[in-house]
Amino acid sequence: MYLIGLTGGIASGKSTVASRFAQHGAVTIDADKVARDVVEPGTPALAEIEAAFGPGVITEDGRLDRPALGAIVFNDSEALSRLNSIVHPAVKARTAQLFADAETGDPDAVVVYDVPLLVEAAPGHAFDLVVVTHAPEDVRVARMIELRGMSEADARARISSQATDADRLAIADVVIDTSGTLEDTEAQVDEAWNRITVRGAP
């Protein structure tokens, strides 16, 4: 198995790059989806969250009430730490299982782990390659305004709450510049794929 860590700031084109890798045959694993899956109704993690924070964080249909939980952990570092101690191990275990399943299915599989907070949450992970999607802040702000209906102030606040571009670029083995056309972005992914699967990894 060849493991690629894919990261990038909000609206930097990460989903587009992941999709292109998938078109080439890569197994893509979305860290955000994993984080949602491990707190689905009936999961041990959700039961632990309810035990730690009370029934008020569970909706009537048995799902996690994210706004209610967010209100508790916001500005409460101890509560946030307690939440992370429940969710992070569950995410780690589920991710490891998905990696193992991919390798069992194909020992030569190329797995793309799409993880927005790689710099913040998984900097020491043993990736064979780290791919960072990158576009100037103004480009990303324009995308967030156009595609997500956000105000410019909200968009810039979201960007500033994440790791800096410099931090992400510092860990990159490959940088995909997504500020051009879709075709330009896909061509860069194609080149990276070719280096991995044909001529060997960088």
Give the model confidence (pLDDT) of 60-76 as tens digits: 999 999 999 999 998 88
Whether 192 and 123 share a structural domain: yes
User: How many structural domains is the chain composed of?
Assistant: 2
pLDDT at 120: 74
pLDDT at 116: 84
DSSP H/E element including 134: strand 129-134
Whether 84 and 114 share a structural domain: no
Domain boundary among the residues 91, 106, 121 is at: 106
Whether 70 and 96 share a structural domain: yes
173 close to 1: Cβ distance less than 8 angstroms: no
Q: Measured between alpha carbons, how far is 161 from 185 in angstroms, rounded to an integer?
A: 25
Sheet holding 129-134, edge to edge: 27-30, 110-114, 2-8, 129-134, 174-177
Whether 81 and 176 share a structural domain: no
Write out the residue range of the structural domain in which residue 144 sits: 1-26+109-197
In a domain, 98, yes or no: yes
Does residue 7 surpass a pLDDT of 70? yes
Does residue 200 surpass a pLDDT of 60? no
Residue 69 maps to which CATH number?
Answer: 3.40.50.300
